[in-house]
Amino acid sequence: MTTTPENGGSTLTDERVEEQTDYRYDAGDHEKFSHYAPKDKIMQAMIEGTPVRALCGKLWVPSRDPSRFPVCPVCKDIYENVVQNDDPS
């Protein structure tokens, strides 16, 4: 639908947005560190190209060799002090 300038209007458009999952990436240092996340989730994210949430809360799509980057200090701390302490073995 379009209105003409004589009516003091503007152009209205019918926008159709395809339904998709809204992935929001956290700003910051997610490019500088390798993060900890469940292995099965990382593998799925690498295959499908979908984001995964790290222990520190960062949302990212794994695509690089993690050995090239230092480990995220927050992920490491959470893993060492929470995850390993919860492991019954």
pLDDT, tens only, 8-39? 555 554 454 444 454 454 555 556 889 999 99
Share of the chain above pLDDT 90, in %: 39
The Cα 26–Cα 37 span in angstroms is 16
Is residue 52 a contact partner of residue 25, using CB atoms and an 8 Å limit? Answer: no
In the predicted model, is pLDDT for residue 76 greater than 90?
A: yes
Q: pTM for this one?
A: 0.59
The Cα 89–Cα 78 span in angstroms is 18
